[in-house]
């Protein structure tokens, strides 16, 4: 579905056939799963299973460049940055009222209105019950959009899906392909 909607690169990472770990970072050179003890490769030499990731930056660039969505994202970040330097409000209205965001603005992390605030979540799902497909998805939420559209498909980006049922034994190993930075993405 993703590939037919937009032209995005994909990154494939091999994982245990049980879906418990990804062979990334410290597991790159393993020939068998250190949790499930299953061999990494089939008899024909090909890996058992792989996870497909869709890189984050192309998604965000497309959204920021969109004449409707991008303008709203910039406007929302401008309002969030202004609220962060204003005197504290009573209670919480949205993500930008949190002390963490206020501190990051103070430190210069969100230095322009084109910065993008992101939230990440994971959860298991079951699809096509009769065929038994289950997995864990990693979803990124763009926070600096209007709250009414934040839960819509356009603001929810699927970064990856693990291939097997149940929560992975090492969910962190599936996050390895995602960029990590303490500074926000900017254009």
- Render pLDDT for 98-127 as a digit per residue (tens, 0 to 9): 888 888 898 998 999 999 888 888 887 777
pLDDT at 59: 76
Q: Lowest-confidence range among 77-86, 139-148, 164-173?
A: 164-173
Q: Please report which helix (H) or strand (E) contains residue 101, including its range.
A: helix 99-106
pLDDT at 185: 40
pLDDT at 181: 46
Unique residue bearing structure tokens 């600096």? 144
The answer to whether residues 11 and 53 touch, using CB atoms and an 8 Å cutoff, is yes
Nearest Cα to Cα of residue 184 among 111, 120, 121: 111
pLDDT at 30: 93
pLDDT at 7: 57
In whole angstroms, how far apart are CA 110 and each of 70, 84, 139?
A: 17, 10, 22
pLDDT at 119: 84
Q: Give the confidence band of 186 by pLDDT, cuts at 50, 70, 90.
A: very low
Is the pLDDT at 11 greater than 70, yes or no? Answer: yes
CA dist 80 and 136 (Å) reads 31
Section 48-77 average pLDDT: 83
Q: Give the confidence band of 31 by pLDDT, cuts at 50, 70, 90.
A: very high
Q: Which residues pair with 122 in a beta bridge?
A: 138
Section 127-149 average pLDDT: 74
Of residues 41 and 131, more confidently modeled = 41
Nearest Cα to Cα of residue 33 among 46, 15, 55, 60: 15
Is the pLDDT at 131 greater than 80, yes or no? Answer: no
Is the pLDDT at 91 greater than 80, yes or no? Answer: no
Section 150-175 average pLDDT: 72
- What burial class does residue 77 get, using C-beta atoms within 10 Å of its C-beta: 0-12 exposed, 13-18 middle, 19+ buried? buried
Q: Give the confidence band of 72 by pLDDT, cuts at 50, 70, 90.
A: confident
């Amino acid at each position: 579905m993703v590939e037919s909607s937009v032209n995005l690169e994909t990154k494939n990472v091999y994982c245990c056939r049980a879906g418990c770990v990804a062979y990334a970072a410290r597991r790159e050179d393993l020939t068998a799963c250190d949790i499930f003890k299953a061999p990494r490769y089939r008899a024909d030499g090909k890996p058992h299973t792989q996870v497909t990731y869709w890189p984050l930056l192309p998604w965000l660039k497309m959204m920021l460049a969109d004449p409707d969505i991008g303008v709203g994202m910039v406007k929302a970040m401008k309002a969030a940055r202004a609220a962060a330097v204003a005197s504290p409000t009573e209670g919480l209205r949205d993500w930008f009222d949190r002390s963490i965001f206020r501190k990051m603005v103070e430190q210069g992390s969100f230095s322009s209105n084109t910065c993008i605030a992101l939230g990440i979540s994971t959860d298991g799902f079951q699809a096509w019950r009769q065929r038994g497909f289950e997995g864990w998805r990693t979803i990124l939420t763009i926070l600096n959009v209007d709250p009414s559209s934040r839960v819509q498909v356009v603001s929810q980006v699927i970064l990856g899906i693990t291939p097997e049922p149940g929560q992975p034994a090492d969910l962190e190993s599936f996050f390895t392909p995602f960029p990590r930075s303490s500074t926000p993405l900017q254009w």
